Structure 1
């Protein structure tokens, strides 16, 4: 047997240094002199750590991650341990492992995050312009989107538009007259023809001329035929040239019904255009035409002054009732029934229970019963019930053309 070779001298053991300190993780052997320098550096690090400082060129161990810190570690976080002069290893390179922990990744500190420069720094070196504005600050470009409060100075209006507005305001009151003058010249000086041309251009056609006639209270259009109703009765007038023309005129009246103060109703293929406040004759007009007498008007006025009832019966009772309405004393509260008009200076009442007078064609049984009981004054045409009134009148003639008005029996007016 061969003898065991002479025991080898463990140089590192004699020096008091373990093998794990002599080698790096990759197994490369360090120079003894460098190893001694490393021990000195480790002793210096221990002293500095107890004092809260780090020796020059030595990085402090990474801080322990917080309990609620779930952010992933940066891939190149350990590159912060290197100085800018030596450069950082490329992305994806693993950092060195600690001795005795081969193959185990070393927890590293997160890369330092540099805060954005404040307004002072931006004013010194930052770009001047929209890029320098903060995320919540409007860009000072003067646009309406960045000036919601309207603090930016607006451009002054164009003087020509201001002049145009002033000219339009001065021309508008005379615009119709200017048109009529121009059309009359084209009609060879015929003013009536010029006005009719204007009505055709305005879309109203024949309806415009008929609605201007205050003696006409209703216009009935059936196809191209036209019939008018007024105090003088009912008569047919020359109609439209075609149904299309008539329809256009009716649509023009509908579009302006409020301004023309008319109502438009379609009944059995006919279109009825009625004034909202029919131009009915007054009591003085009926006296002048011989329909009423001064004595009869005085009797009706006296009854209304005493807050009593007056009834009118007959086809044209509505016309006579409206003619007597202004005889109601001013300041009275009036319940206006069907086809009634509120007398001048009177107030409208919502119902007969809070009214002083009731006016209308068949205003209702309640109003008529209150008038019969003397609880309010009344001016009723064609009442639903026959009740005792202070004055009862009978009207002859048609609905649009009243005849003679007489008193039925003797008026019941106390002395």
Structure 2
């Protein structure tokens, strides 16, 4: 594999409307062992880049029809084209260079160019290409490792969870109360680890673009009530009141609080936010409000879910980082730092946003905004 990579001939695409310039570039570069493709206009260059991406593009700025700036912009705006260095060739003043770099070019060389300078810039651009390709390759390998690892970890964790449940239910034999207590502790630890693995797997799917959302009408008011009922035992253990306020929704509006979304993923977000609120609150209450914004002139409005607690709160300097991946809170009860990151990715995929408002010692408010179903 290494030999194949070392022997790979680097491909350069030269784009210039002047045939003499193309011949000159081809002669200089082929002597150095590069494979050179020649194109005399911007449209053909774009087609060539899509069909057979080169390792480097040498691009003349001034061409009829479509100039080098526009070719550069179109290449950079096309998400299907992987990164390719673009070296602009120009005979104009500094302003043209600035425009080219702003358009997305990586470097430039002036006409008439020096033979050695051209080759030096070509080598520099190809080193940049190799460096970025290697980084992307390592990122793909890391993501693949995470994906495989999380899949492999889930199987024994699920099996262990089921086996522990059978022990707790005395399926095999009677057990003492002390043993039941120990098994319950093991089950909680196992479920925490399983949740972390599941979150990591979901984060990978979103970031790898492999997550498919099953969109349907979701009543967020009912969804919140379902999650509160599911988590009520946790709140009762701590003596916390959990209140749901839907009074701001119009009872005559059948679409009040309804969004288009993946019910399972939105439930995951609401469960994470309410679960965190209960987890980080020792006294007081957790209050969830579901409301809507007035419709704008285009008839669009937002469904807003606010989860407010009376817990520890979050320091101001940490609030801007709390949705980052693996960003753990400073509280000793903080988890892996994946839950809020995943929640943020889910809400963004629904074209919404999530914010936090907090003050140390006075609790926090997490606000989710989602487009209301039309």
Q: Name the TM-score, length of structure 2 as normaliser.
A: 0.19
Q: Which has the larger radius of gyration?
A: 1
Please identify which structure carries the higher helix content: 2
Q: Name the TM-score, length of structure 1 as normaliser.
A: 0.18
